[in-house]
Amino acid sequence: MAKQTISEGRNWYVVHTYAGYENAVMRNLKQRIESYDMQDKIFSVIVPTEKKVKIKAGKRVEEEEKIYPGYILVEMVVTDDSWFVVRNTPRVTGFVGSGVYPVPLDKKEVDTLFARMNADKVTHTINLIENDAILIVDGPFKDLEGKVSSIDEERGKVKVLVSMFGRETPVELDFLQVKKV
């Protein structure tokens, strides 16, 4: 059987993996690329991550978080051989696409994703949504209860409606100063 090119050109493809095994799949695939001598067809393998600030044990912790858990990105030229190498890597369940052949990502999608991965701005995450009941655990309003009116993940702030003097008053607090009731 002759080597046939399925998709012309070098493109980024999304590969579905077992959740939690993205880094292991990336390592395995890189080893397979070398052992099958596919460097001329499979160029890059990445696990898309971004920096997030989370609150753990009352402290701000900056950590890398997977943007798409259960998926990795592979830059490659799809041929029968390159498709076989990627598809038969342990813990790979398949390419994302419709039908038999993988569908490449649009250039715009790739650019947006890489901009998100390389952003200097760190986003904050907290497990609160609007209208959640919270308890203020720090600051001048300590031990007061309130209700979340808005969340600003970019700045790490939450606006809380606190009942004072017989009416609800908005107070802006840091994520560290509140906890879900």
- Give the CATH number of the domain where residue 35 resides: 3.30.70.940
Contacts 24+ apart (CB under 8 A), 150-156: 151/126, 153/123, 153/124, 153/125, 153/126, 154/121, 154/123, 154/124, 155/124, 156/53, 156/60, 156/124
133/70 same-domain check: no
Among residues 124, 144, 162, the one where a domain terminates is: 124
DSSP 40: T
Q: Specify the pLDDT at position 153.
A: 80
Q: Specify the pLDDT at position 122.
A: 66
Q: For residue 18, what pLDDT band results from cuts at 50, 70 and 90?
A: very high
Asked if the model's pLDDT at residue 94 lies above 80, the reply is yes
pLDDT (mean) for 44-70: 84
103/148 same-domain check: no
Among residues 124, 140, 158, the one where a domain terminates is: 124
pLDDT (mean) for 70-89: 94
Range of the domain at 19: 11-124
Q: Is residue 132 part of a domain?
A: yes
45/109 same-domain check: yes
- What percentage of the chain reaches a pLDDT higher than 70? 90
Among residues 102, 124, 146, the one where a domain terminates is: 124
**Distance (Å, whole) CA 97 – CA 151:** 35
Q: Which two tokens stand for residue 40?
A: 């001329």
Residue bearing the bigger pLDDT, 61 or 36: 36
Say which range, 52-61, 68-77, 143-152, has the weakest mean pLDDT: 52-61
Q: How many domains, in total, are found in the chain?
A: 2
